């Protein structure tokens, strides 16, 4: 048998560290502590990283084989994302059935179905029903919908041109269109839920990652003088991102016109610095051991923390108890999910 081809994308521990920062921001925000009202921006960091990595993989595959195996791409994504989600939903559903009254259990199962079929974002955007336990799956739904659409769009572009600058222009055009459309909706008094949860109003951040992947496709090493400026600018972006985590609020309409584009732009610069600048200073911060480990299990942490936090909130725990005890429980669940479920299915991924 022919040995499987090695992955086209090297592993960047610094990106794991950035994921670790992002998930800690989100967890602090969801604990309802008043200390980090803008912690929701961690999701935006995830979006940019996701777009960058996925597009880098797709472009590398096309460069090697002059084609993109769409079926294999979907299988890889399914093996990466579905097992951990199914585990969480199974535990959530069983706990609901055995521990809650029937009406509440049915409501929870309806939430679970929305999460399972990756439509949580539209349930929230259009207010079909409340999702108190699984509302966080809106971001998973947006990413999954992106995974369905982007490879097909990219393949259409690659049939006409393989020039990275043309792909970058295509991605930039989509980014500008989404920002313009979202700005129009914001000025037209669309609801915050619609603006925050719609695929058509949030996909620009993932596309910024796609844009970055195209821009750096054939990029030469950063010159020594420029690398210093790049490194310091990346540190400034990180400091500004942390500042926004303390100041921003997702209900502020300026976030939908200026805030989210600014966050995605700063994140893209940090990703560029971490992956392509040999003199990156930020990389030293992002490769601290515990932070990298948190980043590696960040998907599980994201899945488990929200239903745990809300359950504790319903039991009238304070936000410090939720943040400390709830996070410890989420950490145990995420570690178990990574060790016994995610890694085993990841080993099945076809390269």
The answer to whether 311 and 133 are in contact (CB under 8 A) is yes
The pTM for the full model equals: 0.95
The CB-side HSE value for 350 (13 A sphere, CA atoms) comes to: 10
21 in a domain, yes or no? Answer: no
343 in a domain, yes or no? Answer: no
10 Å CB burial of residue 255 (0-12, 13-18, 19+) is buried
pLDDT reported for residue 350: 65
**In angstroms, rounded to a whole number, what is the distance separating the alpha carbons of residues 113 and 115?**
5
What average pLDDT does the segment 61-87 reach?
A: 95
Q: Which helix (H) or strand (E) holds 217?
A: none
pLDDT reported for residue 238: 98
299 in a domain, yes or no? Answer: no
pLDDT higher than 50, residue 4 = no
299, two tokens: 């998907």
Which of helix, strand or coil describes residue 130?
coil
15 in a domain, yes or no? Answer: no
95 in a domain, yes or no? Answer: yes
Number of domains in the chain: 1
CA–CA distances in Å: residue 164 to residues 115, 173, 206, 270, 292: 35, 14, 17, 20, 31
Alpha helices in the chain (DSSP H): 13-30, 41-65, 70-99, 102-116, 120-126, 138-158, 164-187, 192-197, 199-215, 224-247, 254, 260-276, 282-286, 289-296, 298-314, 319-321, 327-337, 343-346
pLDDT higher than 90, residue 349 = no
30 in a domain, yes or no? Answer: no
- Parent domain of 173: 41-294
181 in a domain, yes or no? Answer: yes
pLDDT reported for residue 94: 97
pLDDT reported for residue 248: 94
């Amino acid at each position: 048998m022919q040995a499987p081809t090695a992955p086209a994308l090297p592993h960047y521990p610094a990106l794991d560290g950035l994921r670790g920062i992002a998930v800690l921001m989100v967890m602090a925000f969801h604990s309802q502590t008043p200390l980090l009202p803008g912690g929701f921006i961690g999701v935006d960091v995830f979006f940019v990283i996701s777009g960058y990595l996925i597009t880098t993989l797709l472009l590398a595959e096309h460069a090697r084989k002059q084609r993109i195996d769409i079926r294999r791409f979907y299988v890889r994504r399914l093996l990466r994302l579905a097992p951990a989600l199914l585990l969480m939903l199974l535990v959530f559903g069983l706990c609901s059935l055995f521990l809650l009254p029937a009406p509440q259990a049915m409501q929870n199962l309806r939430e679970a179905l929305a999460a399972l079929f990756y439509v949580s974002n539209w349930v929230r955007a259009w207010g079909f029903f409340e999702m108190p336990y699984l509302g966080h799956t809106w971001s998973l739904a947006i990413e999954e919908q992106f995974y369905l659409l982007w490879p097909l769009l990219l393949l259409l572009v690659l049939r006409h041109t393989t020039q990275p600058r043309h792909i970058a222009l295509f991605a930039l055009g989509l980014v500008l269109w989404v920002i313009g459309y979202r700005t129009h909706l914001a000025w037209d008094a669309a609801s915050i839920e619609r603006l925050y949860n719609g695929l058509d109003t949030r996909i620009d951040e993932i596309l910024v990652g796609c844009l970055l992947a195209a821009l750096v496709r054939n990029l030469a090493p950063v010159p020594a003088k420029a690398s210093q400026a790049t490194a310091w600018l990346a540190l400034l972006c990180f400091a500004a991102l942390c500042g926004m985590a303390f100041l921003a609020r997702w209900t502020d309409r300026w976030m939908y016109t200026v805030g989210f584009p600014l966050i995605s732009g700063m994140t893209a610069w940090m990703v560029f610095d971490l992956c392509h600048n040999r003199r990156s200073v930020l990389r030293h911060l992002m490769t601290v051991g515990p932070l990298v480990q948190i980043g590696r299990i960040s998907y599980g942490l994201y899945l488990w923390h929200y239903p745990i936090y809300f359950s504790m909130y319903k039991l009238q725990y304070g936000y410090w108890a939720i943040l400390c005890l709830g996070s410890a429980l989420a950490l145990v669940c995420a570690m178990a999910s990574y060790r016994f479920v995610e890694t085993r299915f990841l080993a099945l991924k076809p390269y």
